[in-house]
Amino acid sequence: MTAQVSFFGDLEPLTFGGSDAPTPSSFRWYDKDRIVAGKRLEDHLRFAVCYWHSFCWPGGDPFGGETFLRPWHHGSDALGLAKQKADVAFELFRLLDVPYFTFHDVDAAPEGATLRESIYNLDVIAGVFEEKMASAKVRLLWGTANLFSNRRYMAGAATNPDPDVFAYAAGQVRAALETTHRLGGQNYVLWGGREGYETLLNTDMKRELDQLGRFVSMVVEHKHKIGFQGPILIEPKPKEPTKHQYDFDVATCYGFLERYGLTKDVKLNLEQNHAILAGHSFQHEIALAQALGVFGSLDINRGDDLLGWDTDQFAMNVPEMALCFHELLNGGGFTTGGLNFDAKIRRQSIAPDDLVIAHAGSMDACARAFIAAADMLEARALTGFVADRYAGWEQPEAQAMLSGQRSLAEVADRALSQDLNPQPRSGRQEYLEALVNRFV
Ligand code: XUL
Ligand code: CO
């Protein structure tokens, strides 16, 4: 018996079993081959399991240490433990039958004493991944570099007052981007965990934004140089760990990308609970990113309504997700992006199969929500109402106003000469809310 099989006991890969199927051995809603809105569910949802929460986080919180006691966290042979971790990771990918995974450099491979040593370790583990991927279904949705955990990054990576930290970060990102490319990654992610400030008393914000703009531009230049096809994704988050993060939300990121001429190559990786922390809904962030042409991928999770921090729980709220997926599908769905489980089990969920149950439960919730969203879209329940609400703008005179063919004076004169007296119409919010409930 191999190590990975013994970690999850005798669980078999999950299959679709219908709505009465037992948990955790079957999916109830996630029938990956079911055709929904013209495509297989698996090809729509593009699920990814993340390395950091599932295999690296030991279950600690600010008041207590590890609860999980994972065997690969205990021992002195760092590379050997990383290989053991990879065995378990690929076993979970197989059990869940997911098409993708995601990782940070330091999740996969141990940090060395020097940058050179860290890059060597990553290279070794990339070889292990390559070998495993040759006989597995799972592919890489995205890779990324952790530029926030090590104390050298406490004052930022690209935005650090020390240019040598910027250079060190470049060393990590080049290696992580090239590794992502080598493993066939579909995207490359930059989350600016420390790109922000704790206090303006010691911060030159303009300088830091210019540093960040240059850093992201260098990543884009390198991506083209090595022929990496996927987009670079930045990930909005307003706070935590820093008091204020420069990638605050979609609107702020868009302004940043515009200012530094990056909208063509850089898109956004949106996360449910980051949206909430920014004072938005996830649906809002998805809709805005699509409207601005910078939608990339989704980190799926949820926060806790009563807590104001990033709890990264598994997404289980079907009605809420149905509206998000309605937005996603109405905007054309994913291209290179997917649904990455940036989510962790609670620290009391210490049984190995809790990892399986959490992912499977959330995959089912996503599938159920997605099917509802597709039904809603097909029935044009919301889109029909919205189209009708704006129908007046399809009239030739309205189009002329919109396309710049009329001046303010011409429009004003028409309002006067035609004695316009527009009458308000009901927004019918409750009608629409009740309508949505018919689908979920
Ligand atoms: C942190 C977060 C990260 C990024 C990748 O809140 O979401 O895990 O997704 O660095
Ligand atoms: Co995330």
pLDDT in tens, 169-199: 999 999 999 999 999 999 999 999 999 999 9
Distance CA 4, CA 65 (A): 25
Look over the chain and give the mean of its residue pLDDT values, rounded to a whole number.
97
Tens-digit pLDDT profile for residues 245-298: 999 999 999 999 999 999 999 999 999 999 999 999 999 999 999 999 999 999
pLDDT of residue 2: 45
**Mean pLDDT, range 66-85, rounded to an integer:** 98
How far does residue 406's CA lie from ligand 2's centre (Å)? 45
**Mean pLDDT, range 109-137, rounded to an integer:** 98
Distance CA 14, CA 185 (A): 25
| CA distance between the termini of the chain | 43
Looking at the chain, the number of H-run helices and the number of E-run strands are 17, 14
Residue 439 banded pLDDT, cuts 50, 70, 90: very high
Q: Is the confidence at residue 3, as pLDDT, over 60?
A: no
Q: Name which residue sits closest to atom 4 of ligand 1, judged by CA.
A: 191
**Mean pLDDT, range 113-120, rounded to an integer:** 98
**Mean pLDDT, range 152-177, rounded to an integer:** 98
**Mean pLDDT, range 130-135, rounded to an integer:** 98
Q: Residues lining ligand 1, judged by CB closer than 6 Å? A: 104, 144, 189, 191, 235, 237, 271, 299, 310, 342
CA distances (Å), 418 to each of 190, 319, 395, in order?
54, 45, 16
Tens-digit pLDDT profile for residues 305-317: 999 999 999 999 9
How far does residue 13's CA lie from ligand 2's centre (Å)? 26
Q: Is the confidence at residue 345, as pLDDT, over 80?
A: yes
Q: Sign of the C-alpha dihedral, residues 70, 71, 77, 80?
A: negative
pLDDT of residue 21: 85
pLDDT of residue 4: 43
* Residue-range domains of the chain with CATH: 29-378 (3.20.20.150), 392-439 (no CATH)
Q: Enumerate the active-site residues.
A: 104, 107
